[in-house]
Chains A and B, each alone.
Chain A
């Protein structure tokens, strides 16, 4: 087994009396796309926020690239990035200006070249001088994804990244994410409520319910083990019955 890019042990998060994440342990390996699945409030986004150091865990350990996140957060997240449908870019800036700001923030070398590259990857070079507020939600999502690749990260944390994309662009985005994991050995932690998408894109899945891991494995294994026709059926069982 290669060394894990992210290693999580006994991660727990309490918000007052609510246990949002309950003793979760898992690893993400180089070049792997790990899907986090679960109904609303299962703890998926909280886990992503804890990995980024945006929320402090109640207990447990997060190691990124072998280092303790608590002690070396700045060095760790230098090689990470994230995109979420619920987080935007400054809407009074142009697409290119946003990318310039984040390229500088991450101290990207050859900034202009890298900006051109990520604009091309997401096919948004034609709108690079458009203000963010004038973009469609699909274009904004692609800008968020372009930002998430600006520093050539080793680990990408994507929280429902295709939620506002039309099927065509969503499919292109998945294909692109697949190809960058293969070509550049990037690891991805991915959440989505689109079960077909999760089945298609994930190398491995983790099913969360009430903050606990209740199932994990390769998508086909999970479906087979829990006697579902597809992932959606397994998901519905989890959401309604609390177990697969």
Chain B
């Protein structure tokens, strides 16, 4: 893993975003739209505070945290698509760049993009709705870290699938993350899910983060054992995702698919 090669790819994407207004708009458009819709729903529901549980006011926090996961996923998969769309993939892989270096660079690009988006969303949530995500305290760091790692995992798997099945699979760059949303307990507790989905939710690291967030905002406490479990699951999944990508990259080169997707 050579830092200069990671730096080169990071720079390539930085150049891209620096002057591309549509790409910059895309970075903020959906988060802003989500924030407005869910923010106003929260404001509306808070008028019925006597009959509704308190956690409805946590929608905005859930939204910001979910966006961390989603942007982390997109940071990898959409950046990969940028290289396919510009027919530049072969130039990159004809260089000494390894597949693992490529993925690691995209992870950094994703991290950079989500830090910017999350900062803007946090500021807007505070300005528009007086919602302070930092109420979560230091637990915000492990929460965010878990969501970033899960987003990376989904991004790596998406990239591997697109490499294998070509641009027909590119819709996954946006869609795959949402597949995990219903069982991640983003806006509701795991307990409302049917029992078989509750079992599935227990295997999803993000569900522990969102349960933890609600716990803190409700009672000021959360289970650190559950958070450790989330880290454990994430460590397992991202390791498997790397192995899957590595294996898939070999298969793609063997089948001659890398050059087909790169031209």
Contact = CB atoms under 8 A, between A and B. Distances in A.
A86 B263 contact: yes
Interface string B217-230: 00000000000000
B199 interface: no
Contacts of A53: 253
A114 interface: no
A102 B250 CA distance: 24
B24 to A, nearest CB: 12
Nearest to B17: A92
A55 interface: yes
B256 A87 contact: no
Contacts of B7: 104
B41 to A, nearest CB: 37
Interface string B3-16: 01101110110011
A53 B256 CA distance: 11
Contacts of A147: 91
B86 A104 contact: no
Contacts of A82: 90-91, 94
B57 to A, nearest CB: 41
Contact of B91 (A55, A56, A80, A89): A89
Interface string A53-92: 1111000000000000000011101101110101111111
Contacts of B259: 45, 49, 54-55
Contact of A78 (B16, B87, B96, B262): B96
A243 interface: no
A222 B261 CA distance: 36
A46 interface: yes
B16 to A, nearest CB: 5
B193 interface: no
**Is chain B's binding surface mostly helix, strand, loop or mixed?**
helix
Contacts of B20: 92
A97 B4 CA distance: 16
Chain A contact patch, size range? 35 or more
Nearest to B250: A56
Contact of A102 (B91, B253, B255): B91
Given A82-B94, A104-B11, A49 B86 contact: no
A52 interface: yes
A93 interface: yes
A207 B224 CA distance: 68
Interface of A: 13, 15, 20, 45-46, 49, 52-56, 73-75, 77-78, 80-82, 84, 86-94, 97, 100-102, 104-107, 147
14 contacts: A15-B255, A54-B94, A54-B259, A56-B250, A78-B96, A89-B91, A102-B8, A102-B91, A102-B95, A104-B5, A104-B7, A105-B4, A105-B96, A107-B2
Interface of B: 2, 4-5, 7-9, 11-12, 15-16, 19-20, 82-83, 86-88, 90-98, 250, 253-256, 258-259, 262-263
